[in-house]
Amino acid sequence: MTGHGLVGVADAGAFLARLVRLDPAALVRLRTTGTRTALWAHLPWNVLVTREVAGAFDVADATVSAAELLHVLAAGGEALPTRRDEQWRWPLPPAAAEAVESIAGAEISRLASAAAGTLRAVAAGGLSGRAIGQRAVRDALLDHVALVVTPAGGGRVEVSQRLVQAVTRMGFLGAADANAADTRVYVAGRWVGLSAPYGVAWLQQVKELTVMPIATHLFR
């Protein structure tokens, strides 16, 4: 029987507990390098989150149920739950990433709180007197660009509210009553990441499609 090999049980447990509250059916992918294991998961609003913990097992890459692994850790067990490798369907960002900006943790918390306040206000009173479904409001808020970073080399990096909500709701900023450390904005190819003290959230930018007029094509 394969063991999970995790030494940082408290760290892994905190990650899994938050994840399962957001999505009881979530999967977690464990990728081992040396003496560390990175836990990866996909959140319901299409963001990848990861946290690295101490410990390694003899399988370099495995996917299991987050709830089942949390149960094993809580019981002090060592066995790896049934593998579900075929159910993992999301690409991971490239390993090479560039830090382009640092944002105060307090600012990230403020952006998350402001979005939550807007959701509550619109759900209670509508928008300009017009009732709007909570899901529509939530999706619009998640797609909102919370902040824009301009790297030294030029260009524009948009940080979506999806990333802000991921690092806050996964507890990556730390305790709410503590002075949150800076959060770094990373870029890796078409991916944008927010790296907080206790984990990283990644979002792949949607590729723009070019639409060709049908009239320009000949059908035979």
Question: Taking the model in full, what pTM does it have?
Answer: 0.85
The pLDDT tens digits for 64-80 are 999 999 999 999 999 99
Mean per-residue pLDDT over the chain, rounded: 85
Domains and CATH numbers, the chain: 9-87 (3.10.150.10), 98-204 (no CATH)
The pLDDT tens digits for 107-160 are 999 998 888 777 666 555 555 455 455 566 677 788 889 999 988 777 899 999
Q: From 202, 124, 146, select the one nearest 170 (Cα to Cα).
A: 202
Average pLDDT over residues 202-213: 63
pLDDT bracket for residue 193 (50, 70, 90): very high
